[in-house]
Amino acid sequence: MRWNQRVGRRLKLRDLHIFLAVVQAGSMAKAAAELSISQPAVSKAIADLEYALGLRVLDRSRHGAEPTMYGQALVRRGVAIFDELKQGMEELEFLADPTAGELRIGNSEVTAASVLPVIVDQLLQQHPRINLKVFQAVFATTQYRDLRERSIDLLLGRIPTPFVEEDLEAQVLFDDPIAVIAGRESRWARCRKLKLSDLANERWVLPPPESLPGSAITSLFHVLGLDEPRAPVATLSVHLACNLVATGRFVTILPSSILRSSAKDLSLKELPIQPRPAGIVTLKNRTLSPVARLFIDCARAVVKPLAKSK
C-alpha cells in the first residue's frame, strides 16, 4: 500500500484510539460504554480503520473481539503513537509554563531508601509545581514491563550487567558496592577485619532466594566458596531489614548507598567484589519529556559524590 494514498489521507487518530480501546476492553460494547459513544460508532470507526489499512485488525465473535496478527502489530505501534503525542503535549505545556509538569517514576526499594528522597527534595525545591508519581518496582524478570507499556516514564535502580535489553537504554549514575551491614552497637561493627565466613552462624536478614537480589547474594556466597547462611527472615523490604539489623541481633547484605541515607544506627563492612552500577533505564528512541530530563540532570548532580568515589 502507498502511505500517501491509503493511510496518510484516510487514517484518523480517533479511529486508532477507538481500536485500542476495543482491544483493551475486549469487546466493542464495553469500549463504547467506556468511551461514552454508541456501539455503531465504534463499529464504523473499526471499519474505517480496516478500510484505510486494507487489512483486518479485529476478529469478532460472540465472546468479544480480539486483534488479528495485523491488529497486534498496530496495537504496539498505536500505543507508541499516542505516547509520543502525550509527550509532545507535555512539552508544549512545559514550554508555556516551565515550572509545571508530571513524571511517573518506577524505583527499587534500595533507591527509595537512599538517593531518591534527596533527588525528589532538590528537584521540587527548584520546580515546586512539578508532580511526581512514584511506583515501587520489583526487580525481577518482569521489571521492565511497566516501562515497555509506558505506564512509567523511567526506572531508577540497580542495572544488571551486562545490560542486554535491546529496546531500552541504561544510564549509569554511580557504582554501588555491596556491604555487610550490622548494628552500630553489635560486636561485629567493631571488627576491623571481617569475613563472611565469620558470620555463618549469625541471624541473617536476606532477600528471598527466588528474587533478583536474592539470587545475586546466593551467587556471591558461592563465588567465595561458602554455603549461603540460613536466614530466619526473608524480605525485600530494606526498611524492615535495617530496623532488624539496628537491634544489633541481625546482620544483612545491602548496597552501601543505604548507609549514606538515614541509617544512623548501622555500620558496614564493604565486600571485596565488583560494585554493581545504579542508574536510570528508559525506553530507547522514546522522546523524553522536559520533566524527565530535569529529573535525570538533578539525579546526576545528587549522586556526583558517589560517582567520584567509585
Strands of 148-206, DSSP E = 154-158, 168-176, 178-183, 204-206
- pLDDT of 161 reads 80
Q: What is the pLDDT of residues 102-119, one digit of tens each?
A: 899 999 888 888 899 999
- pLDDT of 182 reads 83
DSSP conformation class of 192: S
Residue type, 165: E
CB of 274 closer than 8 Å to CB of 103: no
CB within 8 Å of 34: residues ≥ 6 apart: 21, 25
- pLDDT of 7 reads 62
By three-state DSSP, how is residue 141 classified?
A: coil
Q: What is the pLDDT of residues 288-303, one digit of tens each?
A: 888 899 999 999 999 9
Cell of 256: 552501601
Cell of 55: 487489512
Residues of the chain falling short of pLDDT 70? 1-9, 98-99, 138-142, 261-265, 268-274, 307-310
- pLDDT of 235 reads 92
In this chain, the answer to whether the domains covering 97-176+277-308 and 178-274 adopt an identical fold is yes
Class of domain 97-176+277-308: alpha beta
> What sections of 103-190 are H helices per DSSP?
109-112, 115-126, 145-148
Q: For the domain bounded by 3-79, which CATH number is listed?
A: 1.10.10.10
Class of domain 178-274: alpha beta
CB of 258 closer than 8 Å to CB of 113: yes
Cα distances (Å, whole numbers) of residue 166 to 116, 231, 283: 26, 36, 10
- pLDDT of 263 reads 60
Domains in the chain: boundaries: 3-79, 97-176+277-308, 178-274
